[in-house]
Amino acid sequence: MTLPRALTIAGSDSGGGAGIQADLKTFQELGAFGMSALTAVTAQNTQGVSGIYEMTAEAVARQMDAVLEDIGVDALKTGMIANVEIMETIAEKIRQHGVGPLVVDPVMVAKSGHSLLEKDARKALTQTLLPLALLVTPNLPEAEILVNQQLDTEAKRKDGARRILDMGASAVVIKGGHLEGETASDLFYDGESFLTFSAPRIHTRHTHGTGCTFSAAVTAELAKGRNLADAVYTAKKFITRAIARPLELGKGHGPTNHWAYNRDRDPEGVITRTLST
């Protein structure tokens, strides 16, 4: 038998809730064969990040070559990248091997507030990886940094989405986890239409790694050949179920529950997909 092949290029979260660990668990649950290229090792738990140990750019390049020259991928994502040299290496390897579709999760800051991307790397992101991305998945603060503007109304977020496409990405989801209100609404734009994917906001502190899990779910669905809007819809369902059944691990912001998607059907009906202009 064959399985769709998905690669994550990201950092390790020793606590298992975010990063490579979240990505591989998500790939597995969605039926993709997961592979990884590690960019950094973090010493991290539900309370915070106590150490960051970056890989060399050479180590990242070799991992990507090893996977791409032999096994190949049907879709790939990037997460925590840490520095400009690694970012440029990843972009070069993606171009060299001609691989895609690519989902770029522009990870900048952990939920605990720790910076995961050096400040000078923020600008490099828009120049190196965004032009290669089929989809970029910023949370609200990351989207505001990318466009250098507050996105505190829907009209501004739509304008921000248009500007992110001007930077070269083919599509964007501005995630709404950081918004106030009773729904968690994500704004999708592909240059043609705006779609809002909404779910009821779940009142929990266990949201560590939601962004990693969401972008990994999109990547797994793309690896299966799904179209982008359907992949985003499934990712929204996946993350909603994973947040809805917290594992209550650790003393801080605990991980989501990747196990829930295939075993817990409850929140399925509550995702809405709305088209707007």
Ligand X SMILES: Nc1ncnc2c1ncn2[C@@H]1O[C@H](COP(=O)(O)OP(=O)(O)OP(=O)(O)O)[C@@H](O)[C@H]1O
Ligand Y SMILES: Cc1ncc(CO)c(N)n1
136 contacts: CB under 8 Å, gap ≥ 6: 103, 104, 105, 106, 130, 164, 169, 171, 172, 173
Stretch that binds ligand X, among 35-43, 90-98, 146-154, 178-186 (CB under 6 A): 178-186
Q: Which helix (H) or strand (E) holds 241?
A: helix 228-244
User: Catalytic: 176?
Assistant: no
Contact 77, 102 (CB under 8 A): yes
- Taking CB under 6 A as the binding criterion, the range among 45-53, 59-67, 169-177, 222-230 that sits at the site for ligand X is 169-177
211 counts as binding ligand X under rule CB under 6 A = yes
The answer to whether residue 236 forms part of the interface with ligand X (CB under 6 A) is yes
Q: x/- site string to ligand X, residues 118 to 147, per CB under 6 A?
A: ---------------------x--------
Tokens for 44? 């991290």
Q: Which of residues 11-30 bind ligand Y (CB under 6 A)?
A: 11-13, 18-19
As given in the structure block, the two tokens for residue 253 are 């912001």
Nearest Cα to 50, choosing from 122, 121, 110?
110
The least CB distance from residue 270 to ligand X, in Å, is 10
Q: Are 26 and 258 in contact (CB under 8 A)?
A: yes
**Which range touches ligand Y (CB under 6 A), out of 94-102, 108-116, 182-190, 234-242?**
108-116
Q: What span, in angstroms and rounded, lies between the C-alpha atoms of 212 and 237?
A: 14
Q: Is 196 a catalytic residue?
A: no
- Comparison of 165 and 249: residue with beta carbon closer to ligand Y: 249
CB of 19 to ligand Y, least distance (A): 3
Q: At what angle do helices 57-70 and 84-97 cross, to 10 degrees?
A: 20
Assigned token pair, 211 = 């962004």
267 interacts with ligand X by CB under 6 A: no
Placement of tokens 């505190």 in the chain: 152
Binding region for ligand X (CB under 6 A): 18, 111, 139, 175-178, 184, 186, 199, 201-202, 207-212, 214, 236, 239-240, 243
Binding region for ligand Y (CB under 6 A): 10-13, 18-19, 42, 44, 79-80, 107, 110-111, 116, 209, 211-212
